[in-house]
Amino acid sequence: MEYKEATDRVLEGITAGDLAGELGISEDAVAGTRLDPDTPGFRPPPEGWRAAVARLAGERASRLLRLKTELIGPPRAASGTAAGVAVMRAAHLIIESEPPVLNDTVAARLLGPEMVAQIRARVDELQTPPALGLRSHVLLRSRFAEDTLMDAVADGVEQYVLLGAGLDTFAYRQPEWAHGLTVIEVDHPGTQGAKRGALAAAGIEIPPNVRYADIDFERETLAQGLARCGVQTAKPTFFSWLGVTMYLTRDAIEATLRTVLSFPKGSGIVLTYAHTDSAQSRMAADSATAGEPWVSYFTPDELGAMLRSLGFSDVSFLSREEAEERYYANRTDGFAAPPRVSIVAARV
């Protein structure tokens, strides 16, 4: 069977009969509804139709994923950057003095005692200016995202989606104010498999409000993956997208942002980006050497214009001065905000 023919069969359109069966109502009840209230004989759609369509679309996307695996082979392996980020978070509690910028007490457990021993043996290397700057950047972006999430929860956000979750540990050290959230970790299946193995090995329980969306973006879109994994698109949702955009084309970045914009008003996002000045940086070079080259760079003006043109509001960039005041003031160990802060928050 030709690939196109196979995918066409998998992705057949959702019919009125499909939707009626999903909702448990008659096909006539579905067929007679209209979305536009100005339509003659308007009858509003049945309650729950959006979620039902999302579930049906998700089932088709899941079948397509299985088909692609059969036709072109299994998905690629996990990213190599996730462990490096976790090392920076664990090293902070070992090297820097109190108070921590980010009190990540889970990262070391996730990495295991052997890696922690390596961190302790490399303390001098981890205190060089490049290592300090990278560690500060990793800590700051997570702390700012989690603080912004806390404010969003107070305003009614019900879901937290971590795009490119890697070895992020928020879900396993979540504060009391987060217990009412549904936390969805989105990442490549290989990375998620490795993480869940590490959680099990460390004896870290998965909280009941945590879900995993194992999405291979070479094989399905974010919207398809979220639908397949049961994310409720009608609920106000907060997204964090940290350390990812530099690896994607601008078209792919815009596609993801449009998915975020499909969520209700009051939803929001915190994301990081690579500044145009960092194209020749050591971090970019090291990433390329590791087989994960950076491909997209922005100035704050460029990224701000993109976000506003897509439809985001309240676009704000965290400045180094604000970061220093909020998270590094009165420290006695010399640990400071990174030389460049490339973090932006926006609301739907």
pLDDT at 321: 97
SS3 assignment, position 337: coil
Question: In the chain, which residue ranges form alpha helices assigned H by DSSP?
Answer: 3-10, 16-23, 27-31, 49-72, 81-95, 107-111, 113-121, 129-154, 189-202, 222-228, 250-261, 282-289, 300-310, 320-323
Name residues of the chain where pLDDT drops below 70: 1-13, 32, 34-42, 49-80, 218, 280, 290
List b or e across 26-47, with b for residues whose CB sees 16 or more CB atoms inside 10 angstroms.
Answer: eeeebeeeeeeeeeeeeeebee
Closest among 203, 193, 154 to 177, alpha carbons compared: 154
Question: What stretch of H or E contains 238?
Answer: strand 237-241
For 289, residues 6+ apart whose C-beta sits below 8 A from its C-beta are: none
Answer for the pair 248, 238: CB distance below 8 angstroms, yes or no. no
Amino acid at 112: G
Closest among 336, 348, 342, 282 to 133, alpha carbons compared: 336
Question: For the segment 42-67, what is each residue's pLDDT rounded down to a tens digit?
Answer: 677 777 766 666 566 555 544 544 44
Question: For the segment 196-228, what is each residue's pLDDT rounded down to a tens digit?
Answer: 999 999 999 999 999 999 988 767 889 999 999
Answer for the pair 19, 56: CB distance below 8 angstroms, yes or no. yes
pLDDT at 56: 61
d(CA 75, CA 64): 13
| Token pair recorded at residue 109 | 């457990």
Q: What are φ and ψ of residue 230, in 5° steps?
A: 80, 20
Answer for the pair 140, 101: CB distance below 8 angstroms, yes or no. yes
Q: What is the largest CA-CA distance in the chain?
A: 74
pLDDT at 80: 57
Question: For the segment 117-154, what is each residue's pLDDT rounded down to a tens digit?
Answer: 999 999 999 999 999 999 999 999 999 999 999 999 99
pTM equals 0.76
